Structure 1
Amino acid sequence: MKTPQRTPQTVELDVRPQLARGEEPFDLIMKTVKSLAKEDTLILHAPFKPTPLIGVMKWKGFTHRATVTR
């Protein structure tokens, strides 16, 4: 029997509230990443380009695209 195709999911995570409270959102981000399937997409909302996180994610095999919105 053939396994049904899974539809890729887009997961949005907004860490701006945690950062505004002075909290470190890294653990929350990693927990969210761990829940993703290979074909899923994570959209991370942050008030700055998270360069250290991008390095960690690249090391784990992920790709990224950053955009600035106002």
Structure 2
Amino acid sequence: MTATDSERVLGVREIDGEPFGDIMAALESLERSEPLLLLNSFEPESLYGVLEQRGFTYETTQTSERREIRIEHTDG
């Protein structure tokens, strides 16, 4: 999975500390049709339930270096 021109990218591997606040801020600023590509070093399993509760869908792809999670509004 690679970023497209129409989606925002947030790399949280370099964030010092818990990235949850940064992820939520990025999601809140998205347009309804704008996806977010989240780049992470581990499977953010606790995030998935929060995404579903807030009306987002996600697709996770694992590469040798990272996890890429494409997040979109359910009604995008």
Both proteins in one fold, TM over 0.5: yes
2:9 is matched with which residue: 2, 9, 12?
Answer: 12
Q: Percent identity?
A: 37
**Letter of the 2:44 counterpart:** P
Aligned residues: CA RMSD: 1.4
1:50 — aligned with what? 44
Q: Does 1:27 align with 2:21?
A: yes
| TM-score normalised over the length of structure 1 | 0.79
1:4 — aligned with what? none
- Which is helix-richer, 1 or 2? 1
| TM-score normalised over the length of structure 2 | 0.73
Which blocks of at least 5 consecutive residues in structure 2 are unaligned? 65-76
Which blocks of at least 5 consecutive residues in structure 1 are unaligned? 1-7
- Structure showing greater Rg: 1
Q: Write out per-residue CA displacement over residues 17-40 of structure 1, whole angstroms, 9 at most, x where no aligned residue.
A: 11xx4x001111101000001111
Structure 1 runs (4+) greater than 4 angstroms displaced: none
- Which is strand-richer, 1 or 2? 2
Aligned residue pair count? 60
